[in-house]
Homo-oligomer: A and B are copies of this chain.
Amino acid sequence: MTIKDIANLANVSHATVSRVLNNSPNVKEETRQRVMKIIDQMGFSPRMSARALNSGKNYNIGLLILYDIFKSQFPTDFLPGILSGLTRELNKAGYMLSLFLDEAADGGGMEAVDALLNRNLDGVIILGLETNTRLAYRISRIHLPILLVNHRFDDLPISSIMADDVQGAYVATKHLLDIGHRRIAFMEGDPRYYTGRARKEGYLLAMRETGVEPDPAILCVGMYDEGCAYEATLSLVNSGARFSAMFASNDIMALGILNALARLQLRVPEDVSLVGFDDTQFAMLIKPPLTTIKKPRTHLGMEAAGMILSMVEGEKEAEVRHVLLKTSLIERASTCPPR
């Protein structure tokens, strides 16, 4: 079933059918109706490959997901949200989103990029690229619209979009400060990752801005790991350091902290207020429900879709843009003013 078959059935030329399919203005209403009817009856839909061949456009955006995403440092429930936003907007604009995965992660990843390039996509969104500068360099040489999600290279001309981790940590800390806390302990994530460094920065910023010099004695490192945070909390308390609140760089560590405090017979929030980060699924389910920072997920996906579309459809080389999205504080029951 092709455009020509439809043409024959409707007693018009295939060009007219093409015009009907593309909403060309110069088609008599009567003809349009007749052609449309036959198209519907036959259940015809034009071959995309032929269109693509002719136009050079594939209406297909690649999403390269780097392996780390399936590791714990990356909240697994981040993915559905961003996919939702991406596909929703892309489909709306007539595009598809095609998935590519890199399991090899650091050092590797080259094969995944090659696979991408062989697929004749219109643009590429890259999710989860972090420390692999060799891969980043390779990527920067692709002459295809590229958008980085959740990471950013200042020295490479690649547009990016990410949630503002610094602002998120700032807001979390500010919340604790606002309700009266001054001795706020901080559980750092993994400083090798951007988010780990950024969240610490936000914490420090809020503290200093309020005139509270952060006390190194109540700064811990939990490496984004529950067990690690658990142990760190035990030693923090046993060291005798005083603090009335704690800010954890992610919810998983917050859970570790919660477990440790329970073991030490300290109540949350009465004895210690606790704020997490990420709004992981379980944050609202545990006791007490965790106050935390939520990154916009669906919204991030939608914005990313908009950016890559404007790059793909823009006539000329678009300028490099770096977009930061605001995060929001989700107030639950793990925080209260200090005694």
Contacts and interface: CB of A to CB of B under 8 A. Distances in A.
A86, A87, A119, most chain B CB atoms within 10 A: A87
A101 interface: yes
A280 interface: yes
A120 interface: yes
A17 to B, nearest CB: 16
Interface string A96-124: 11111101000000000001011110000
Given A45-B118, A87-B101, A100-B91, A259 B287 contact: yes
Interface string A251-280: 010011001001000000000000000001
Given A88-B103, A91-B115, A99-B96, A285 B252 contact: yes
B255 A286 contact: yes
Interface string A76-92: 11011101101110010
Nearest to A225: B285
Interface residues of A, number: 48
A110 to B, nearest CB: 14
Contacts of A80: 69-70, 76, 79
A303 interface: no
B53 A50 contact: yes
A70 B85 CA distance: 12
Nearest to A83: B99
B58 A87 contact: no
19 contacts: A45-B120, A48-B52, A48-B120, A49-B52, A52-B52, A53-B53, A60-B98, A65-B83, A69-B80, A76-B76, A76-B77, A77-B77, A79-B79, A87-B101, A88-B103, A99-B99, A226-B285, A281-B281, A281-B282
Interface of A: 45, 47-53, 58, 60, 65, 69-70, 76-77, 79-81, 83-84, 86-88, 91, 96-101, 103, 115, 117-120, 226, 252, 255-256, 259, 262, 280-282, 285-287
